[in-house]
Amino acid sequence: MTASACEYIPGLANVPAAQSSISYVDGKKGILEYRGFQIEDLAAKSTFLETTYLLIWGQLPSKQQLADFENEVRYHRRIKYRIRDMMKCFPETGHPMDALQTSAAALGLFYARRALNDPQYIREAVVRLIAKIPTMVAAFMQMRKGNDPIQPNDDLDYATNFLYMLTERIPEPLAARIFDVCLMLHAEHTINASTFSAMVTASTMTDPYAVIASAVGTLAGPLHGGANEEVIFMLQDIGSVENVRPYVENLIANKSKIMGFGHRVYKVKDPRATILQGLAERLFEQTGRDEYYDIAVELERVVEEKLGSKGIYANVDFYSGLVYRKLGIPTDLFTPIFAIARVAGWLAHWREQIGENRIFRPTQIYTGGHNHPYIPMRER
């Protein structure tokens, strides 16, 4: 449906806000493609950095192009000591998403040149953001524990290095690979609230750090990026496999939502959830099952039995929370990790937007009054 001049569509639901060749979703068939490549193929064969290149520049890189991109990202992982000093002043009780939004915006102070028509500038901005966002997330995590941040390790690949900066341990290759796939699965998903926010900010031709800071702020809300945290709280609340069925029945009777299930677009199982389910099984097989996993398996079975006929299945957040928790990642970092991944999609939309820009300027339907007489203060 398209909006006519005077039709108001709350939330702009289903209103096309752009023409885009970045990603494609078919919610009825359960298809997700990045630049025409199926997510299943990318998850099986690609890496997060290769997928990032594909999303932003529109084609798979050659061996040399990928090596160059990886090296540039590796070289730019460190953050300036003044940004670290600024972060040290953040309250340790603050949410990591607020810390990330502030730090991302601060990059604009340090890299102030703006040359949106220069491909080299675009490349540098992309590399800096992809490289530094994980370092900033991990640095805040260390600093709030009272530690100095752990410096990026040039010998480690993107995913391994992030988990190392976070936990001080070099993860097992399977854990790092699964984390890398999680990043790929979250890298892009057409136009949602945070991507739209990035596009609106980009359309003013401001700098890319402001674009990403806007998007991070939008992702931070519980209606957008926070569902995988809620899944963990729900599994905690359920407490045991035996409690799954009565818990689900109670939620359904009260018309409450079961976290990690259902999707605005997918009416079959989210293809990302299917991929993650397989990865979670491998991870738990290797590192040992725990009660959370057993509760989750039973929960999916019961919800499918009760709500599958309504098109409600597990979504990507159901499994990503489980995987992150198993990797030892604190719950309040789940949304910042979503941001680390989605920065790839946001940058792709930034580039697409400024390539053929028109500033966003929707209209409104005014519902207020007119021509009120001004009443002097003493008479009010």
Ligand X SMILES: CC(C)(COP(=O)(O)OP(=O)(O)OC[C@H]1O[C@@H](n2cnc3c(N)ncnc32)[C@H](O)[C@@H]1OP(=O)(O)O)[C@@H](O)C(=O)NCCC(=O)NCCS
Minimum CB distance to ligand X smaller for 157 or for 317:
317
Position closest to ligand X via CB:
262
| CA atoms of 74 and 162, how far apart (whole Å) | 11
* Active-site position among 180, 263, 270, 349: 263
Q: Helix 119-143 and helix 96-110: axis angle, to 10°?
A: 140
Minimum CB distance to ligand X smaller for 254 or for 363:
254
Q: To the nearest whole angstrom, how small is the minimum distance from the Cβ of residue 23 to ligand X?
A: 15
Footprint of ligand X (CB under 6 A): 227, 255, 257-264, 307, 310, 312, 315-317
Given strand 23-26, what is the order of strands in its sheet? 23-26, 31-34, 37-38
Cα-flanking dihedrals φ and ψ of residue 314, to 5°? -60, 140
Q: Looking at this protein, which amino acid is placed at residue 102?
A: T
- Which is nearest to 159 in space by CA: 337, 278, 315? 337
Minimum CB distance to ligand X smaller for 93 or for 309:
309
Structure tokens at 38: 């199926």
| CA atoms of 212 and 208, how far apart (whole Å) | 6
Q: To the nearest whole angstrom, how small is the minimum distance from the Cβ of residue 157 to ligand X?
A: 28
* Active-site position among 157, 180, 270, 317: 317
Give the other-Cβ count within 10 Å of 128's Cβ.
Answer: 20
Give the other-Cβ count within 10 Å of 227's Cβ.
Answer: 24
Element (H, E) at 208: helix 208-219
Minimum CB distance to ligand X smaller for 5 or for 13:
13
Q: To the nearest whole angstrom, how small is the minimum distance from the Cβ of residue 230 to ligand X?
A: 7
Structure tokens at 200: 């609106």
Find out whether 317 and 96 touch, Cβ atoms under 8 Å. no
| CA atoms of 250 and 302, how far apart (whole Å) | 12
Active site residue 372: no
Place of tokens 């991109």: 69
Q: To the nearest whole angstrom, how small is the minimum distance from the Cβ of residue 270 to ligand X?
A: 7
Q: To the nearest whole angstrom, how small is the minimum distance from the Cβ of residue 28 to ligand X?
A: 13
Residues in the chain: 380
Active site residue 349: no
Minimum CB distance to ligand X smaller for 144 or for 189:
189
Find out whether 333 and 137 touch, Cβ atoms under 8 Å. yes
Minimum CB distance to ligand X smaller for 87 or for 316:
316
Q: To the nearest whole angstrom, how small is the minimum distance from the Cβ of residue 190 to ligand X?
A: 13
- Which is nearest to 52 in space by CA: 36, 35, 38? 35
Question: Which residues are known catalytic residues?
Answer: 263, 317
